[in-house]
Amino acid sequence: MAEILTVRAALELEVFTRTTVRVYAGERNLDRPVRWVHTGEIPDIHRFLTGQEMLLTAGLGMGATALEQRAFIRRLADAHAAVLVVELAGRMFDSMPEAVIEEAEAVGLPLVGLADEIPFVETSAQVHEVLVGMRVKQLIAEEATSQAFMDLLLADEDYVGVVRELARRTGHPVVLEDVAHQMLAYGGATPEADQVVDEWSAHSRAIHERHPSLPAQGPGVPTAAAASFREVAPCARQPVVLRGESWGWLHLLHGGQRPSPPELRTLERAAAAVAISLLSERESGARASQRQTALLNRLLLGDISGERFVTLGLALGQDLRGRDLIVVTAWAGDEEPTKDHLLARLLQEAGWPAVVGDTGDFDVAVVGLPARADATRVRTLLADHGTRAGISRIVEPAVLPLALRQSRS
């Protein structure tokens, strides 16, 4: 069952099969959502509407003249009624007035005529039963989503696991970035999303969609490819708020497929789960270091190929694709208290993506340099901070396992 009950779907309910149903106008808007059912036979019924109602009427309040009928339709359209259903059994009209048809078509209001009387009370009951059922299913699904993220946290998963679960549940690629727009995790990769990640700096700074169901965001806006600050990225973005301040963003890269309300709510819950996983900044940094160290060890042991290493590095937010790769082995003096993270911090500040880990006696990193960059810049950078380093020649991904083993000898 769809989460939204549309006008089209409502007209297929059993109560409407008891008579002949004809759409006279506004057929292009039959996929509008129906939020409620209202009945009324007074001219100013619009005052009691709040939007997205199916209005059932015998026509007694629509007026006897074309002028009154047109005004009645305009008022309903201004009140954002979903559809007007008129009984044409002779109580007021035997046929739909032409003025009503013309005005409804002009304002885009779906106009439906019923050839016979049907019980409006039963109509309301059937529609409301469907709406309540949808809401119950929605609540059950939301609870299952919240429980899934809670289970990840209880299993001591970090933000990488949350990103992976969000991508699995929505079917869309997901990227987590920090407030400095550094990509930290990437899940659900697709060729299209890979292209976005290639130009992540441009995407992360582009204008993003605004979805009403996401907090602190205004009305929806159209989407466009993110190529400039004037265009809108086809991406739903949710802030990760930690201790009252923005820590980063979760990006749902939906492309041309607009995200559904359940997907947006899942995005909200994932952002909250990421924030919980980051409550201890020191622990989150240690976890990221552990993941990268484990990945380097898998490469060292021959468990994965160099090409697979590059792919898995991207999932950890380190995009080594299409770059000149070098292996760096570094060690700091005894006076350096932050040896475990110094190499990673220096490479990050330099803007070079790298998978960095502590393999025991040394810090080891696979670094992605821009094309034609001078690898000696890395040695100079480390030397300036009192860190000695050995640097391999530039290698292809396939040669990474050998280069990594040689760096330790």
**Percent of the chain's residues with pLDDT above 90:** 43
In CATH terms, the superfamily for domain 287-407 is ACT domain (3.30.70.260)
Strands (E) in 15-82, as ranges, are 21-25, 36-39, 53-57
Taking residues 250-273, report their average pLDDT. 90
pLDDT bracket for residue 284 (50, 70, 90): low
In this predicted structure, what is the pLDDT of residue 212? 58
Domain span(s) for CATH 3.40.1390.20 in the chain: 7-130
Amino acid making up residue 400: L
Q: Are 392 and 406 in contact (CB under 8 A)?
A: yes
Among 92, 5, 16, which Cα is nearest to 53's? 5
User: Angle 241-340-297 (CA atoms, 0-180°, nearest 5)?
Assistant: 95
- Per-residue pLDDT at 217 exceeds 80: no
Q: What are the contacts of 201-208 at 24+ separation with CB within 8 A?
A: 202/226, 202/227, 203/233, 203/235, 203/251, 204/177, 204/249, 204/251, 205/181, 205/229, 206/231, 206/232, 206/233, 207/231, 207/232, 207/233, 208/232, 208/233, 208/235, 208/236, 208/237
Backbone phi, psi, residue 111, to 5°: -125, 120
In this predicted structure, what is the pLDDT of residue 370? 79
Domain span(s) for CATH 3.30.450.40 in the chain: 156-210+231-284
pLDDT digits (tens, 9 = 90+) for 20-68: 999 999 999 999 999 999 999 999 999 999 999 999 999 999 999 999 9
Q: Are 37 and 52 in contact (CB under 8 A)?
A: no
Cα(347)–Cα(387) distance, integer angstroms:
12
CATH of the structural domain 7-130, one choice from 3.40.1390.20, 3.40.720.10, 3.40.640.10, 3.90.78.10: 3.40.1390.20
Residue 279: partners with Cβ closer than 8 Å, 6 or more residues away: 242
pLDDT digits (tens, 9 = 90+) for 158-197: 888 999 999 999 999 999 998 888 888 999 989 999 889 8
Strands (E) in 294-335, as ranges, are 324-332
pLDDT bracket for residue 211 (50, 70, 90): low
Taking residue 31's Cβ as centre, other Cβ atoms within 10 Å add up to 11
Q: Is 67 helix (H, G, I), strand (E, B) or coil?
A: helix
Cα(77)–Cα(75) distance, integer angstroms:
5
Six-digit token string for 126: 């059937």
Architecture, CATH, for domain 156-210+231-284: 2-Layer Sandwich (3.30)
Cα(237)–Cα(253) distance, integer angstroms:
9
**Of 376 and 218, more confident:** 376
- Per-residue pLDDT at 320 exceeds 60: yes
| 62 phi-psi bin (left φ>0, alpha ψ -120 to 50, beta other) | alpha
In this predicted structure, what is the pLDDT of residue 26? 95
Give the orientation angle of helix 339-350 with respect to helix 376-384, to 10 degrees. 130
Cα(229)–Cα(205) distance, integer angstroms:
7
b/e per residue 56-75 (b: at least 16 CB within 10 A): bbbbeebbeeeeebbbbbbb
Summary mean pLDDT of the chain: 84
pLDDT bracket for residue 198 (50, 70, 90): confident
pLDDT bracket for residue 114 (50, 70, 90): very high
Radius of gyration of the chain (CA): 30
In this predicted structure, what is the pLDDT of residue 286? 66
Cα(306)–Cα(86) distance, integer angstroms:
68
In this predicted structure, what is the pLDDT of residue 285? 60
Residues in the chain: 409
In this predicted structure, what is the pLDDT of residue 169? 92
- Per-residue pLDDT at 85 exceeds 80: yes
Domain span(s) for CATH 3.30.70.260 in the chain: 287-407
